[in-house]
Amino acid sequence: MGDHRLLDTSQVINGIAVLLSFFVGYKYALKRHDVSEEAKNSKSTDEGRGDTVAPQEGFFASFSNNYKMVLVVRNDLKMGKGKIGAQCGHGAVGAYQKAVRRTPRLVRAWESTGCAKIALRVESEREMMAIKHAAEANNLTTCLIRDAGRTQIEPNSKTVLAIGPASVEDIDKVTGHLKLL
Full domain range(s) for residue 137: 1-181
Average the pLDDT over each of 15-24, 47-56, 58-67 and give the range with the smallest value: 47-56
User: By C-alpha distance, which of 134, 122, 133, 132 is closest to 173?
Assistant: 134
Domain with residue 63: its CATH number is 3.40.1490.10
Overall domain count for the chain: 1
pTM of the entire structure? 0.67
Confidence of residue 117 (pLDDT cuts 50, 70, 90): very high
d(CA 27, CA 33): 10
Confidence of residue 167 (pLDDT cuts 50, 70, 90): very high
Highest mean pLDDT among 10-19, 58-67, 142-151: 142-151
Q: Which residues contact 14 (CB under 8 A, 6 or more apart)?
A: none
